[in-house]
Amino acid sequence: HYDNPEIYDPEHFSAENVTKRDPFAFIPFSAGIRNCIGHRFAILEMKLTLASILRKYRIISMLPEEENRPIPEFSLKP
């Protein structure tokens, strides 16, 4: 499914490569009736971790304000 799967390459997950990849090539929690029972717990843990980071630290953009525009699709996509 990947070129050189034994080598760490962040480009495996780039937008261009994701569209070319088989949809079942990367399933971290499996799929179907026998999927991982910890899937929902793991997603909840990620959300809680992100929330605690956002409460503890002040996140600022390194882009100038005129270049830093919101992306409306972030909240509009299903």
pLDDT in tens, 1-28: 677 888 888 888 888 888 887 777 778 8
Number of alpha carbons in the 13 Å side-chain half-sphere of residue 10: 0
The HSE-up count of residue 69 (CA atoms within 13 Å, CB side) is 5
pTM of the model: 0.52
Query: Has residue 21 been placed in a domain?
Result: yes
Q: Is 51 annotated as a binding residue?
A: no
**Residue 10 belongs to domain spanning:** 1-57
Residue 77 lies in a domain: no
Q: Is residue 17 part of a domain?
A: yes
78 within some domain: no
Q: Is residue 70 part of a domain?
A: no
Question: Alpha carbon of 30 to those of 25, 38, 53: distances in Å?
Answer: 10, 11, 28
* Under 8 Å between Cβ of 61 and 68: yes
pLDDT of residue 50 exceeding 90, the answer is: yes
Asked whether residue 72 is assigned to any structural domain, the reply reads: no
Query: How many distinct structural domains can be found in the chain?
Result: 1
Residues with Cβ within 8 Å of 25's Cβ and at least 6 positions away in sequence, in order, are 1, 2
